[in-house]
Amino acid sequence: MRSLLASVRFAIVAAAQNFTRNLGVSMAGVFTMGLIMLLVGVTLLLTHTVDQVLARQESQADVINVYLKDSVSMRTIADYEERLRQDPRVAGVSFISKDEAVIIAEQEGEGFMQSAISTVGSNPLPASLKLQARSLQGLTQLNRIVKTYPITDTSTGHQTSYNPNVIPTLQAVIFWTEVVGWSLSALLAVISLVIIMNTIRTAVYIRRTEIEIMKLVGAGDWFVRWPFILEGMFGGILAAAFGTVIVGFTYNFVLEQANAHVFLGVTADGPFLTALIVVLVAVGAGLGGVGSFLGVRRFLHV
């Protein structure tokens, strides 16, 4: 126990000395790796945000709005609503009045609706039935049926909001965003591993006499390794902290700005950001440790 504590203390003190003795090299390594961590963070957050935007679209894709003629009575609409509700392919139906349509449009960022209405003098948006299907296949069939309903507005050319291409396209986009995001992150991780390895090699080179003596008097391999591994882990954590702080602030700022201009339907995802920071710091420590292990290996084989 006593000897273990002494070993741990020796490793920590030696790691701290390593780090500060060649502070220039250490900081250059930390800074470079920090930039890479920044890129990894940006890539992962970007992937996540795109995913979120697309997932929101996808969740809406099994819903169609059936636009209704203005002239149809509420009673008739209620009949058809009931008839749809009986259909086994239907998961839910809700009626959206003309006024509600305006509110929804405004929520989705079309802030000019009110002024448009006052200019035109009447509300141009149609009432609609919001129809949620149980399956995408059912959606296609339902779409065909509701188009033939007499209450459906045929004057504009698109009776419903149905778009047959949207689902496969969305899925492909989500898939490729993830593939590109993750491969880019993996590539960046490998680069930072190489950077850590070289930083530690310099540290090892500076301490080569010490290592030689340690080996000569009979220190074990791990005793020699630990200080460098700790140094690498410390550098990795510092780099990750540096990268994620910048990423975190940028993420919140950019999303705020973006939402002010276009409606993404996505706000800053706090839990995801926290998880990302934790993961990046852990990955930084891991890369630092592994990089040091590899960097030190060559010198240990006396």
The residues binding another protein (CB under 8 A) are 2-7, 10, 209-210, 212-221, 223, 302
- CA distances, 223 to each of 14, 22, 159 (Å): 11, 21, 75
Q: What is the CA radius of gyration of the chain?
A: 30
Cβ nearer to another protein, comparing 111 with 220 = 220
Rounded least distance, CB 237 to another protein, Å: 25
Q: How far apart are CA 203 and CA 25, in angstroms?
A: 8
Cβ nearer to another protein, comparing 144 with 298 = 298
Q: How far apart are CA 296 and CA 205, in angstroms?
A: 9
Rounded least distance, CB 270 to another protein, Å: 45
Rounded least distance, CB 46 to another protein, Å: 47
Cβ nearer to another protein, comparing 13 with 74 = 13
Q: Which of 177, 149, 199, 234 is nearest to 45 (CA)?
A: 177
- The contacts of residue 175 (CB under 8 Å, 6+ apart) are none
Q: Which of 84, 192, 180 is nearest to 128 (CA)?
A: 84
Rounded least distance, CB 276 to another protein, Å: 39
Cβ nearer to another protein, comparing 219 with 241 = 219
Rounded least distance, CB 185 to another protein, Å: 36
Rounded least distance, CB 18 to another protein, Å: 12
Joined together, the tokens standing for residue 154 give: 């045929």
Cβ nearer to another protein, comparing 182 with 222 = 222
Contact 129, 80 (CB under 8 A): yes
Cα 152 to chain centroid, rounded: 40
Cβ nearer to another protein, comparing 3 with 59 = 3
Q: Which of 51, 14, 67, 73 is nearest to 200 (CA)?
A: 14
DSSP for residue 68: B
- The contacts of residue 125 (CB under 8 Å, 6+ apart) are 98, 101, 102, 105, 113
Cβ nearer to another protein, comparing 71 with 209 = 209
Cβ nearer to another protein, comparing 124 with 220 = 220
Rounded least distance, CB 226 to another protein, Å: 11
Cα 141 to chain centroid, rounded: 35
Contact 136, 62 (CB under 8 A): yes
- Give the burial class of 10: count Cβ atoms within 10 A of its Cβ; 0-12 exposed, 13-18 middle, 19 or more buried: middle
Rounded least distance, CB 9 to another protein, Å: 8
